[in-house]
Amino acid sequence: MSDFDTLQRDWLAHLGHERRLSPKTLEAYGRDLNQFRAFLDEHLGASPDLKAVAALKPADLRAFLGQRRRDGAGNRTLMRQLAALRSLARFGERDGRLSAAAFAATRGPRLGKGLPRPLDARAAAAVTKADSRIGEDRPDWVLARDAAVLSLLYGSGLRISEALGLKRAQAPASSGDALTVLGKGGKTRMVPVLPVVVDAVAQYLAQCPWRLEPDGPLFVGVKGGPLSPRIIQLAVEGLRGSLGLPGSATPHALRHSFATHLLGRGGDLRAIQELLGHASLSTTQVYTRIDSSRLLAAYDAAHPRAR
């Protein structure tokens, strides 16, 4: 193991144990570094050590990003990879093993400031109803299951991974119940559960043909195993045609709808931040831009002096 391998190992351990990043994030960072290593093997003509990495210039790092772009990586992927390399360099710099100057001086690609695209309230409600899929060649309990999952996304603002990570013992049993959700970075939060969501989960449980153990998954597939997120994504894709929904209609759009509709009804931004589990308020503030853009569009359409 080279000294660069040792630094990489120590950095990932630091992120996992002290920063408590999720296993998926650590896996992504590990892939980023492996791709960087493969590039340096070819770029330098030898397996890199810390001395060689410390001698890199911003031009070398831009060459790496250029190669990744030619391989099909998008701007967000490139920004994540550059962020990973900067974090590694800062970690090595703290104990004198590496210099972060070249990494800090390298500019990444610009990201477009696209807004989340929520559904309107009527469409979001329709997506969460099992009746919207009557006629599909699917068992009734599967339709009830999908409706329960989608109800949690829209009614409680969950990510799909959070909903599918719930245990049977966590199923809300009555109105006013709250869920303890395990979110990104291993952080937990409390979210309210609406009566309509309680009913949707109860209908699924009443029809589910599988015995669900208390410490097992709440939502299962047709063979009784953990439910794949792809199944829920396909369910929403099918609803696009039957309900006339836009291509932006996805399970995650229901989470956007949750936040946007709360804000539009006067919800407090800080409270919405806590409900969504955002670490930074700036992440939640993007929904204020959506609300403002709708107000301006309504103004332009209705005010007699706007034309």
- DSSP label at 174? S
Q: Is 70 a catalytic residue?
A: no
Q: How confident is the model at residue 112 (pLDDT cuts 50, 70, 90)?
A: low
Q: What backbone phi and psi angles, to 5 degrees, belong to 258?
A: -55, -50
For 56, the token pair is 């890199």
Q: Is 159 a catalytic residue?
A: yes
Superfamily for domain range 121-251: Intergrase catalytic core (1.10.443.10)
How does pLDDT run across 194-238, given as a tens digit for each residue?
999 999 999 999 999 999 999 999 999 999 999 999 999 999 999
Question: How much is the pLDDT for 263?
Answer: 82
Q: What mean pLDDT is predicted for residues 61-86? A: 91
Separation between Cα atoms, residue 195 and residue 198, nearest integer Å: 5
Q: How confident is the model at residue 173 (pLDDT cuts 50, 70, 90)?
A: confident
Q: What mean pLDDT is predicted for residues 106-121? A: 77
Q: Is 255 a catalytic residue?
A: yes
Which residues have a Cβ under 8 Å from the Cβ of 215 and sit 6 or more positions away? 167, 168, 169
Tokens 């009614």 locate to 155
Separation between Cα atoms, residue 158 and residue 289, nearest integer Å: 21
Q: How confident is the model at residue 300 (pLDDT cuts 50, 70, 90)?
A: low
Class for domain 3-105, per CATH? mainly alpha
Catalytic residue among 68, 159, 256, 261: 159
Catalytic residue among 145, 255, 256, 261: 255
How does pLDDT run across 20-35, given as a tens digit for each residue?
788 888 898 999 999 9
Catalytic residue among 14, 90, 189, 252: 252
CATH 1.10.443.10 region(s) of the chain? 121-251
Q: Under DSSP, is residue 79 helix (H, G, I), strand (E, B) or coil?
A: helix
Question: How much is the pLDDT for 270?
Answer: 84
Catalytic residue among 80, 184, 189, 240: 184
CB 190 within 8 A of CB 178: yes
Sign of CA dihedral 133, 240, 205, 230: positive
Question: How much is the pLDDT for 182?
Answer: 86
Separation between Cα atoms, residue 234 and residue 303, nearest integer Å: 41
Residue 271, pLDDT above cutoff 60? yes
Separation between Cα atoms, residue 272 and residue 153, nearest integer Å: 14
For 303, the token pair is 């005010």
Residue 299, pLDDT above cutoff 70? no
Q: What mean pLDDT is predicted for residues 173-201? A: 86
Separation between Cα atoms, residue 30 and residue 24, nearest integer Å: 10
Q: Which of 57-71, 130-144, 175-189 has the lowest mean pLDDT?
A: 175-189
Catalytic residue among 145, 256, 261, 278: 278
Instruction: Specify the pTM.
Output: 0.64
Q: Under DSSP, is residue 181 helix (H, G, I), strand (E, B) or coil?
A: strand
Q: Is 252 a catalytic residue?
A: yes
Helices 75-94 and 58-70: crossing angle in degrees, nearest 10, is: 150
Q: Is 14 a catalytic residue?
A: no
Please give the radius of gyration of the chain, using alpha carbons only, rounded to the nearest integer.
23
How does pLDDT run across 48-72, given as a tens digit for each residue?
899 999 999 999 999 999 999 999 8
Question: How much is the pLDDT for 295?
Answer: 46
Residue 183, pLDDT above cutoff 50? yes
CB 258 within 8 A of CB 247: no
Question: How much is the pLDDT for 100?
Answer: 84
Beta-bridge partner residues of 217:
167
**Other CB atoms within 10 A of residue 186 CB:** 12
CATH 1.10.150.130 region(s) of the chain? 3-105
Separation between Cα atoms, residue 253 and residue 25, nearest integer Å: 22
Separation between Cα atoms, residue 1 and residue 155, nearest integer Å: 50
Q: What mean pLDDT is predicted for residues 102-113? A: 80
Q: How confident is the model at residue 288 (pLDDT cuts 50, 70, 90)?
A: confident
For 106, the token pair is 């390298």
